[in-house]
Amino acid sequence: MAFTLNHLPKRTEKPREKGMTLVLDKGLSVREVEDFCKSCSNHFDIVKLGWGTSYVTQNLEEKLAVYSNFDIPVYFGGTLFEAYVLRDQLDAYMELLDRFNIQHAEVSNGTIWLSDKRKVEIIQRMSKHFTILSEIGSKNPNDIIPPYKWVKMIERELDAGAWKIICEARESGTVGVFRPNGEVRSGLIDEIADQVPVENLIFEAPQKAQQVWFIRKFGSNVNLGNVQPSEVIPVETLRLGLRSDTLFDFYSLDDEEMDQLYADQEKKESDE
């Protein structure tokens, strides 16, 4: 990095378990993926090919190879998983992942009806072969899950073998952990975070105000999902306090640092 700036928050290093940025790829071309990775691959950790876009993406293998060359894991969207389960083709779905050398998989029931028991069974089975991201929350804005049930489902699915739990918000950021107007359901988040380690969670937060809220709430190294490719660098500046929204959230000097700062300044002045 060409710049030197003191007192920035310490970011985790890749491969990260916390402080992850999960990107939503809605159909980038191979060339766009090349440019995207060259410009900011250090600042995002995993890519979701949204909903069923992988099914209709031309040059899919070539595109996946570009991400692989930059050590960026990719997985297919949860809606594609649900489309296969709806057709009773789970085995075919797992074969598809193997065919494309996809090592991560999303298990979700945001649109189809899938009992909690069956979802847990699928996680247990698939986690023996894949790294599972399990999504919780409905895509229907009128389907409100009470906080205690969120916690219960999260704990059960982590116990079943899920690596991370994705807290649903959709691309719009208007369902799941958010109200229809995009406002954070802060009471829900508080109750979840009080009982589940935050590093086990990925909060979908497509809107800037939502990203700011989570970064202020949990710090620079909160896991954020459904970030647009064009927003990866802006999100990283939010994490580092290099955007006005978080400029004063992470700049602080303790007494020892202040004393050293004054001592260095006095020495500099005396040398001059």
The per-residue pLDDT for range 130-158, each reduced to its tens digit, is 999 999 988 888 888 899 999 999 999 99
Confidence of residue 104 (pLDDT cuts 50, 70, 90): very high
pLDDT at 129: 98
Residues 6+ apart with CB under 8 A from 28: 36, 63, 229
What pTM was estimated for this model as a whole?
0.91
Q: How far apart are CA 26 and CA 49, in angstroms?
A: 6
Contact by Cβ (8 Å): 48, 224? no
Over residues 236-250, the pLDDT tens digits come to: 999 999 999 999 888
CATH number of 21-263: 3.20.20.70
Confidence of residue 265 (pLDDT cuts 50, 70, 90): low
* Interval 25-57: pLDDT, tens: 999 999 999 999 999 999 999 999 999 999 999
d(CA 132, CA 198): 17
Q: For residue 195, what are its two tokens?
A: 């009982």
Burial 145-167 (b: 16+ CB within 10 A, else e): bebeebbebbebbbebbbbbbbb
